[in-house]
A and B are shown apart, each in its own frame.
Chain A
Amino acid sequence: MSDPVDNNALIALEAVSRSFGAIRAVDEVSFELRPGEIHALCGHNGAGKSTVVKMITGLVQPDGGTVRVGGEASRIRSPQDAQELGIAFVDQELSVIPILSVANNIQLGGVSEPFFNRPRRTRARVRELLDLVGLSDLDPAEPVAGLSMGRRQLVEIARALGRNAKVLVLDEPTATLSSAEIEHVFSAVRRVAATGCGVIFVSHRLDEVLQLCDRVTVLRDGKRVDTAETSALDVDRLVSMMLGDVPPEPAPTLPQEGRKSETVVRVTDLSVGDRTSGFSLEARHGHVYALAGQVGSGATEILRAIAGLEPSAVGSVEIEGRQLTLGSPERAEAGGVSYVSNDRKGDGLFLGLSARDNLVSTRLRKLSRGPVLDMASLREAAKGLADTIGLAPGRLPEPAENFSGGNQQKIFIGRTLERPETRVLLLDEPTRGVDVKGRIEIHGLVRGAAREGTTVIFASTEIDEILDLADDIVTMRAGRVVGRHSRSEVDAELLLAEMTHGRAERAAA
């Protein structure tokens, strides 16, 4: 099953483990990168990929097992350590500084950069690196702010290449790139590997993995499933390795009795800058719609645009026949949109305020007589919501930051429930960072809301979740819609296939 550990390995993880609280994110995973190899790391969400990557790049320490760099047992305690050990990392979350120029971003933070600027040498080096990633037509003095996400990614890759690393780690590098840009990245990666460096390529895009990489390691539920030569694999085999034993399909949600079929939300030709374009959807009363797509598919941007958070959104959104003014969350809320973002800690919850305050935060006007709050109604409403979401009422006075991820998410969603003013409920990654039990509870809440007649549109990268929750599924890739299905028409393989290498829906003629 596993290949013998190569003692020439550039970097090797020997049975490493890592837990976060009760969750065992990585469970005795072994992995090694040979010189000159392009090695893919694949796995569905929650499989442990990002934790493994963090261990290699110094952001997280393993609880158990050994990490070896160049054969020596090493402790990679910080990104600085990683850099010094010759490990270069290009994260999904870009770390380019928009204000700075391309050239400055490429030089930024390199430990071997000279103190005094050497413009001529720098110009030549920057040119070389830009050529390597296919950005030869770029003006190095241009601020990164003006570049598309795809080009920013390439700049960051150029920076990593410029650090003369022996190990290059790329996390979802092609999520936001055009096909031409992807080709450039591939050539750059091949050139780098040819010099003897090793490349770790973390990606959901299985066709690219098979095209570019020599070997692939598949993780599932924190464990290593297998490491194999890509020449011996095809997409279907990879998919089944990632999904494991496919559990019996849960019965598709049958159409509810008494669900009206009128359109509540009509989205026409919604585009957000260059990140998504031409999105259309007719969402009906009491139905649950899934926007299924991986990182960079544009699903998040669509939800944000409807919620009024994208000033550059262009298009039309109608709620119950009324045109929604875009670009203002205040207007969206007034128009009946309730939005649950994918970042409950960043822009969702009020962590310092109590669970009670969070739950009632969206209905204060109804709980007050004139300007003054009716404390009794407030407490009652909070208790009612706590019951609905399954939160111990005794915990209502505690600050939201004290609760587990799952409970926090329930509070976040709870504040949108049982509100007649809500016409459409938008959820971005409704169970991100939530354990299995919480996931079941949250899915129950969402279906409950739909049963009450709320139109629900959610975005998710989790196939299980999409299959469990949705009545209708819209698959997206690279900013465009690639497929529309009702739940009964699809299964996991079809979904994953469309999400990872589907073709764009042709715009209506």
Chain B
Amino acid sequence: MNPAAIKRFLAGGAPFFIFGMVLLAFLLVPFYSTEQISDFNAFNSLQSASSVGLLALAIGLSMIAGEFDLSTVGMYALGGMLAVKLGADSPLLGVAAAMGAGVVVGAIQGGIIAKLGISSVPVTLGGYIALLGLTSVISSGESVAYENFDVGISLDQQTLTFFSPRSLIMIGAFVLVAVLIRWTRIGRDLRAVGGDRRAARAAGVRTDRILVGTFIATAVISALAGALLSYSIATAKPDPGGAPLVFAVTAALLGGVTLAGGKGTAAGILAGALSLSLLQEIFVIVATPDYVSDLVLGGLLIIVVAFDAPRLKSRMIAMRSRAASRRMAQVAMKELKQE
């Protein structure tokens, strides 16, 4: 492999490198604290990654397409509520209803954004508020219990030591998306739309279809995530709060997705999600207070955002150029003096 390809490989490996560091920190817990680690901790972190991980995948997909879907958390809530309300007898029906609602919501939002040319942020913000409201209406503002405990129990059954059907479903979703992006033309078109929409359109990419499809995907994935979570804890809550959004965006950014669009892989997002949930598990084991976890997560996101900021890079380039100019001038002065 040529050096440029090696460099690219390493750069693309940043999310996995990060995961490796976190894993190391996890394995070393017994050495720097009084606590022990066990298989159960690994299982637990995979469990907590199961739903927010899918949320990260959803938001990450919208970011790869050059947009930002704020309504994913709203769909998360609605999906969970629909699954619980309609899945009393048949959990599969509940999940199907949740995902079906996702298709409708995604199509509407995607249509508005693609066909009317409106930025995704205000549209999905309105969508977020409306979806939360709808969830509240369906549930009359209260948490709704899911009677069918067996579903949750079988979903969360420890299998293969670290996994459970729920985390396997999550991984399965990631694999499906990864295959679609890597092995079909959708991946290329998606990145093109995210990287430079004008150029993509000029090159002949059907940008509208890609956008609508992306928003449908994000809504469906978020709905699935919410449904699985609700079955697992046998409750559907009308308001998930702000934490899932912070987690999902941080996981996506750690996973190599950029705010500018066009970059990022499903595998990277998975690595980002696992890194964060493992990190949170470490905090639990070492019994750090909640606020430390909040601060670390928030601080991490700020650092990642700063690195992603466009004008920061051009400022650094400008500084380097000025240094080069100064050196040139000094050389010229020396030559002048020698004459």
Chain B interface residue number, banded: 35 or more
Contacts A114-B185, A326-B325, A327-B322: A95 and B317 contacting too (C-beta < 8 A)? no
Quick one: CB contact mask for B311-339 with A, threshold 8 Å, 1 for yes? 00011011101101100110010000000
* Chain A contacts with B in 79-114, Cβ cutoff 8 A: 79-80, 83, 91, 93-100, 104-105, 107-111, 113-114
- A98 x B195 contact (CB < 8 A): yes
Which among A139, A159, A316 is the interface contact of B4 at CB below 8 angstroms? A139
Kindly list chain B residues whose C-beta atoms are within 8 Å of the C-beta of A116. Answer: 183-185
A98 to B8 alpha-carbon distance, docked (Å): 14
Of B185, B196, B324, B328, which one neighbours A97 at CB under 8 angstroms? B196
Complex contact A97–B191 (CB within 8 A): yes
Cβ of A146 and Cβ of B4 under 8 Å apart?
Answer: yes
Residues of A within 8 A of B286 (CB): none
A148 at the interface (CB under 8 A from B): no
Say yes or no: B196 contacts A115, CB within 8 Å.
no
* A113 to B187 Cα, complex, angstroms: 13
What separation, in Å, do the CA atoms of A95 and B205 have in the docked complex?
11
Q: Are B203 and A325 in contact (CB under 8 A)?
A: no
| A98, A109, A326 — most chain B CB neighbours (10 Å) | A109
* A450 proximal to B (CB < 8 A): no
Residues of chain A from 45 to 85 with CB closer than 8 A to chain B in the complex: 79-80, 83
Is B321 within 8 A of A327, CB to CB? Answer: yes
- Could you tell me the distance between the alpha carbons of A99 and B184 in the complex, rounded to whole angstroms? 18
Whether B200 pairs with A314 at a CB distance below 8 angstroms is: no
Most buried by B among A97, A143, A312: A97
Kindly state whether residue B242 has any CB partner on chain A within 8 Å: no
**CB-defined contacts of A97 to chain B, threshold 8 Å:** 191-192, 195-196, 199-200, 203, 262
Q: CB within 8 A of A109: which of B2, B5, B205, B329?
A: B205
A contact residues around B237 at 8 Å (CB): none
Are B321 and A311 within 8 A (Cβ)?
Answer: yes
In the complex, chain B residues 159-194 whose Cβ is within 8 Å of any chain A Cβ: 182-185, 188-189, 191-192, 194
A311 touches B317 (CB 8 A): yes
Q: Of B188, B262, B314, which one neighbours A108 at CB under 8 angstroms? A: B188
Could you tell me if B203 and A315 are in contact, using CB atoms closer than 8 angstroms? no
CA A114 – CA B184 in complex, angstroms?
8
In the bound complex, CA of A107 to CA of B192 (Å): 11
Q: Tell me which residues across on chain A come within 8 A of B201, comparing CB atoms.
A: 79
Query: A109 to B204, Cβ gap below 8 A?
Result: yes
Closest chain B CB from A348 CB (angstroms): 19
**B202 located at the interface, meaning its Cβ lies under 8 Å from any Cβ of chain A in the complex:** yes
Cα A139 to Cα B5 in complex, Å, equals 9
Closest CB in chain B relative to A275 CB, distance in Å: 14
- For residue B329, give the distance in angstroms from its CB to the closest CB of chain A: 6
Contact of B85 with A by CB under 8 A: no
Judge whether A117 is part of the interface by a CB distance below 8 angstroms: yes
- Across the interface, B188 reaches (CB within 8 A) one of A91, A107, A143, namely A107
Mark each residue of chain A from 120 to 145: 1 if its CB lies under 8 Å from any CB of chain B, else 0: 00000000000000000001011100
Assign chain A's interface to a size class.
35 or more
Closest Cβ of chain A to B178, distance in Å, is: 13
Pair B317/A312 contact, Cβ less than 8 Å: yes
- A94 / chain B contacts, CB cutoff of 8 Å: 199
A311 touches B8 (CB 8 A): no
User: What 0/1 readout, one digit per residue, does chain A (422-444) give for beta carbons within 8 Å of chain B?
Assistant: 00000000000000000000000
Contacting residues of chain A (312-341) with chain B, CB-CB under 8 angstroms: 312-316, 325-328
User: Which single member of B2, B8, B183, B204 contacts A79 (CB below 8 Å)?
Assistant: B204
User: How distant is the Cα of A142 from the Cα of B4 in the complex, in angstroms?
Assistant: 8
The answer to the question of A269 belonging to the interface, with a C-beta cut-off of 8 Å to chain B, is yes
Do A139 and B205 touch (CB < 8 A)?
no
Within 8 A of A (CB), among B71-110: none
Nearest chain B CB to A86's CB is how many angstroms away? 13
Complex contact A110–B204 (CB within 8 A): yes
Most chain B beta-carbon neighbours within 10 Å: one of A83, A94, A141, A311: A311
If A311-B318, A327-B321 touch, does A99 touch B195 (CB 8 Å cutoff)?
yes
Whether the pair B329, A316 counts as a contact (CB closer than 8 A) is yes
Instruction: Report the minimum CB–CB distance from A315 to chain B (whole Å).
Output: 6
Chain B hits for A328, CB < 8 A: 318
Contacts of A115 in B (CB 8 A): 184-185
Most chain A CB within 10 A, of B192, B201, B325, B328, is at B325
- The interface residues of chain B lying within 8 Å CB-to-CB of A107 are 185, 188
Q: A325 contacts which chain B residues (CB < 8 A)?
A: 322
Name the A residues within 8 Å of B328 (CB-CB).
269, 314-316
The contact string, 1 if C-beta is below 8 Å from chain B, for chain A 477-502, is 00000000000000000000000000
- 10 nearest A-B pairs in the assembled complex, by CB-CB distance: A327-B318, A109-B204, A95-B202, A311-B318, A109-B203, A99-B195, A95-B199, A99-B262, A311-B317, A97-B195
Residues of A in contact with B (beta carbons under 8 Å apart): 79-80, 83, 91, 93-100, 104-105, 107-111, 113-117, 139, 141-143, 146, 159, 268-269, 311-316, 325-328
| 22 residue pairs bridging A and B, Cβ less than 8 Å apart | A79-B201, A79-B202, A93-B202, A95-B202, A96-B203, A97-B191, A97-B203, A99-B194, A99-B196, A99-B262, A99-B263, A100-B191, A104-B191, A104-B192, A109-B192, A111-B204, A115-B184, A141-B5, A269-B332, A312-B321, A326-B318, A326-B321
Instruction: Contacts A109-B203, A325-B322 known; list 19 others, CB within 8 Å.
Output: A79-B204, A91-B202, A95-B198, A96-B199, A98-B196, A99-B195, A99-B263, A100-B262, A108-B205, A109-B205, A139-B5, A143-B8, A159-B203, A311-B317, A315-B325, A316-B325, A326-B322, A327-B318, A327-B322
B residues engaging A (CB < 8 A)?
2, 4-5, 8, 182-185, 188-189, 191-192, 194-196, 198-205, 262-263, 314-315, 317-319, 321-322, 324-325, 328-329, 332
